[in-house]
A and B are shown apart, each in its own frame.
Chain A
Amino acid sequence: MTSDESLSSGTSRRLTPADLHNVRFTRGSMLHPGYSDEEVDRLLNRVGEELGRVYAEKAELRDRVHALQAQVDGVEVPAPPSEQAVRLLATAQQTADNYVAEAEDFSRQITSDARVQYEEQLRQARETAGAILQAAHEAAGRTTGEAGPRGPESGLSTQELEDQVAYLKAFAQACRVQLRSYLEALLIDVESEWGRADPAVLPKAAARTPVPRGKQPAALNVARAMPMDDGARLTEDSGRADGDGGAAGSPNAEVVKQGR
């Protein structure tokens, strides 16, 4: 055999079609005409092995193709949603958005009304307290003026006036505390009203129980994800110095804000 020693000597290398083309068997002798039996048998063995391997590989590949095909078939290429479905979902979403917007508007109105009321009452209370204080000072001035020469008595009335001033200060403080808690109560109402702004629940919202934190019913979700940016509509007082909340702004006015 002339082509390649390794062809006959080992099985480490795979048999290729070119190998077979190049096979040249050793001629026999006069005694044994034809090819060398031994070489032919060896080659037939190898060809047999190789064919077996090829078939096995082919079967394995066929299985893989089937498996992959099944995978591909299993994947649903999502059909584009029908026009009808899109319209339906769009309407539902819009309805939900409108409810949320209404609830938010309601909350904004109530909160700003409450704030106006709170500030007005605080202002009045302060004015009243100021006036009382003023009157007390004047009275004190008069009393000490009149009672000046009388000695001990004047000391007493100053003491009384100081008590009165202290009382009035405390009264003003109490007013402030009370007004504050009044406003807080209003705000809590607003929060809970707003929380129950789910369309289904809205008409029954008359019962005003504040919802404890962390225990809101699932129905709250509609209202929780309010769309509005915080106070997106600036109320008329937003230009004042105490301004706006946590919003961070733009890098600097000339780049961003002045364009708007």
Chain B
Amino acid sequence: MDIPAMRANFAKAAAAGDEAPLYFYSHLFLSHPETRSMFPVSMAHQRDRLFAALGEVVSRVDDLDSLVPILQQLGRDHRKFGALPAHYPAVGASLLATLEHFDEDWNDHLAQTWAAAYKVVATVMIDAAEEAADQPPWWEAEVVAHERRTVDVAVLRLRPEPALDYLPGDSISLETQARPRLWRYYSPANAPRPDGTIEIHVKAHDGGPVSGALVRQVGVGDVLRLGPPIGHLAFDAESDRDLLLVAGGTGLAPVKAVVDQIARNGPARRVDLFVGARVEEQLYDRPELSRLEREHGWLTVTFAVSDDKESELEHGDIGDVVQRHGPWRSRDAYVVGPAAMVDDTVARLSGQGLPRERIRTEVFAPSRPGPSVDGEVTE
């Protein structure tokens, strides 16, 4: 593979901006119309991602060791879109046509080297998809409960069929028929239960098509599609340190799964859970958390509000409140929420002497439809 030539050629297509992916998808859909239904109606974001991802692959193509796990993940994940081995050559042909279209110096040598590189990529993805064939490509999940907790937060209980196995802290992508082909990631708020149901917390973002539909349109009896779980906030069940859990907004979901994991499977560890919101009304899971606190002696829950003068709860940013209750030097810490809240809390905990490697974090931001080449699922 002549990698410098590939990069030079790719740079020409990338310089054309949106034109290049626009050409690619139009070419693909015209030559293989059956692929159109695998994509959402509006392709704007799809286009951004495709070329970003391709650029990543091209820039790493001489470092296959780092590329292969990413491609395998992508290959497995693409099953939920309905991607079949037969689709890969179609994509390859349109990719080459696009690269040719934007390069006046296109020649047979480039065509061969690109074809060879694409074949490597496609083979890795197809093989990974086939290895995952013992799992369904996606799970159908019926909504068995839907509670509006605040104006824009809903808690949903789903029953996947067949049972979906995951670890506390994993993320699961889902699609609702109200917004076909738009996949978003959510974290289960419980450890796997005997009845297989999964609780998810959804906040409707202004203008967010999927989150808005999940909060305001989806109801009991509707069926969602779930993708395979992706590991994120890895919960260290082996550690016997006591825990400090800090959550902002719906970042509560994965840490609640950790609490649930300990409640179900033990061993009991002292757990301090801090939950922050701007105003008291936004603490959407307060009764449930208070119930857990009453049931489990090892659990202490502290609620805090950052902008609510009337409230009788603790006041201040959650990081500040955590710090006031510290120091937490002996703990394993899990911090999940918006980026600013995570950064602030981590800085304060580190400042108090908690080693950084014992703080695990997850930033909750608007979700991507698919993981990036680095496996990120948020923007």
Interface residues of chain A, those whose CB is within 8 Å of chain B, are 78, 80-81, 85-87, 89-90, 93-94, 96-97, 100-101, 104-105, 107-109, 111-112, 115, 118, 126, 130, 180, 183-184, 187-188, 191, 213, 221-222, 224-235, 237-254, 256-257
Closest A residue to B338 using CB positions? A243
Q: Evaluate contact between B232 and A246: CB separation under 8 angstroms.
A: no
The docked-state distance in angstroms from the alpha carbon of A38 to that of B294 is: 108
CB of A182, distance to nearest CB on chain B (Å): 10
Q: Within the complex, what minimum Cβ distance (angstroms) separates B317 from chain A?
A: 6
Q: Are A187 and B216 in contact (CB under 8 A)?
A: yes
What B residues does A230 contact at CB under 8 A? Answer: 184, 204-205, 208-212, 366-367
Q: Is the CB of A93 within 8 A of B363?
A: no
Cross-chain contact A248 with B377 (CB below 8 angstroms): yes
The reply to whether A108 and B27 form a contact with Cβ atoms under 8 Å apart is no
Q: A234-B366, A252-B233 are in contact. List 14 more A-B contacts (CB 8 A).
A: A81-B31, A93-B22, A96-B41, A96-B42, A222-B42, A231-B205, A231-B366, A241-B337, A244-B251, A245-B205, A249-B364, A250-B362, A252-B360, A256-B375
Measured CB to CB, the nearest residue on chain B to A187 is: B216
Q: Quick check: B364 and A244 within 8 Å, CB to CB?
A: yes
Can you list 25 contacts pairing A with B, beta carbon distance less than 8 Å? A85-B30, A93-B22, A97-B42, A100-B41, A109-B207, A115-B151, A118-B151, A242-B276, A242-B277, A243-B249, A244-B366, A245-B249, A245-B366, A245-B367, A246-B184, A246-B202, A246-B364, A247-B377, A248-B367, A249-B377, A250-B375, A252-B233, A253-B342, A256-B376, A257-B363
Max chain A Cβ within 10 angstroms of own Cβ: one of B40, B184, B200, B205: B205
For residue B78, CB closer than 8 A to chain A, the reply is: no
Q: Which residues 196-220 of B sit at the A interface, judged by CB distance below 8 A?
A: 200-212, 214, 216-217, 219
Instruction: Evaluate contact between A226 and B249: CB separation under 8 angstroms.
Output: no
Let me know if B203 and A244 touch, CB within 8 A.
Answer: yes
| Residue of B206, B279, B341 with most chain A CB atoms under a 10 A cut-off | B206
Q: Mark B162-193, 1 if CB is under 8 A from A, else 0.
A: 00000000011000001111101111000000
Chain B positions within 8 Å of A, measured between CB atoms, are 22-23, 25-27, 29-32, 40-46, 97, 151-153, 171-172, 178-182, 184-187, 200-212, 214, 216-217, 219, 230-234, 248-251, 253-254, 276-279, 282, 304-307, 310, 317-318, 336-343, 346, 356, 360-369, 374-379
Contact between B379 and A232, CB atoms less than 8 A apart: yes
Contacts of B179 in A (CB 8 A): 224-226
Q: Give the complex CA separation of A239 and B369 in angstroms.
A: 22
Quick check: A191 and B217 within 8 Å, CB to CB?
yes
**B254 CB contacts on chain A under 8 angstroms:** 248
Complex Cα distance, B251 from A86, in Å, reads 44
Residues of B within 8 A of A246 (CB): 184-187, 200-203, 211, 214, 250, 253, 364, 367
Whether the pair B367, A229 counts as a contact (CB closer than 8 A) is yes
Most central of A86, A130, A242 by chain B CB within 10 Å: A242
Give which listed residue, B42, B151, B250, contacts A180 with CB less than 8 A.
B151
Tell me which of A80, A225, A251, A256 contacts B41 (CB under 8 A): A225
B336 & A245 in contact (Cβ 8 Å cutoff):
no
> Are B366 and A225 in contact, with the CB atoms below 8 A?
no
In Å, the complex CA distance between A227 and B230 comes to 22
Q: Is the pair A93, B379 in contact by a Cβ cutoff of 8 Å?
A: no
Instruction: Give Cα A249–Cα B249 distance, bound, in whole angstroms.
Output: 13
Find the residue from A90, A187, A188 having the highest chain B CB count within 10 A.
A90
